[in-house]
Amino acid sequence: MDRIRRVALVSGGSRGIGRATVLRLVRDGYQVAFCYQRDTDAARAVEKEAAALGGRATARQVDVTSAADVQAWVLGVEHETGPVDTVVTSAGVVRDAPLVMMSDEDWDQVLDTNLRGTFLVCRAAVFHMMKRKSGSVVNVSSIAGVAGNASQGNYSAAKAGIIGLSRSLAKEVGRYGIRVNTVAPGFIETDMLSQLTDGYRRRMLEQTPLRRFGEPEEVADAIAYLAGAGYVTGAVLQVDGGLAI
pLDDT band (50, 70, 90) for residue 121: very high
- DSSP SS3 for 29: coil
Q: How confident is the model at residue 20 (pLDDT cuts 50, 70, 90)?
A: very high
Tell me the pLDDT of the chain averaged across its residues: 96
Catalytic site residue 30? no
N residues, the chain: 245
One-character DSSP codes across 193-242:
HHTS-HHHHHHHHHHSTTSS-B-HHHHHHHHHHHHH-TT--S-EEEESTT
The partner residues of 6 in beta bridges, in order of sequence, read: 30
For residue 189, give the 3-state DSSP assignment: coil
Residue 4's pLDDT is 58
Q: Compute CA distances 203 → 10, 94, 198, 211, whole Å.
A: 32, 20, 9, 10
Q: Quick check: helix, strand or coil at residue 18?
A: helix
**What is the rounded CA–CA span in Å between residue 148 and residue 198?**
21
3-state secondary structure of 73: helix
Q: Is the distance from CB of 123 to CB of 110 less than 8 angstroms?
A: no
Query: What does the pLDDT look like over 154-192, one tens digit per residue?
Result: 999 999 999 999 999 999 999 999 999 999 999 999 988
Domains in the chain: boundaries: 6-239
| pLDDT reading at 194 higher than 90 | no
Cβ neighbours of residue 70 under 8 Å, at least 6 residues apart?
Answer: 62, 63, 64, 117, 120, 121, 124
Q: Against a cut of 0.85, is the pTM above it?
A: yes
Which residue type, as a one-letter code, is found at position 58?
Answer: T
User: 91, 18 in Cβ contact below 8 A?
Assistant: yes
pLDDT at 2 exceeding the cut of 50: no
Contact 60, 80 (CB under 8 A): no
**Using one digit for the tens of pLDDT, what is the confidence trace for 210-225?**
999 999 999 999 999 9
Other CB atoms within 10 A of residue 222 CB: 22
30 - beta bridge partners? Answer: 6
Query: What is the average pLDDT across 197-214?
Result: 93
- Cα separation, 163 vs 61, in Å, equals 26
What 3 state SS string does 82-106 have?
Answer: CCCCEEEECCCCCCCECHHHCCHHH
| Superfamily holding 6-239 | NAD(P)-binding Rossmann-like Domain (3.40.50.720)
Query: How many whole angstroms separate alpha carbon 92 and alpha carbon 119?
Result: 13
Q: What is the pLDDT of residue 1?
A: 37
Q: Which of 155, 176, 200, 231 is an active site residue? A: 155
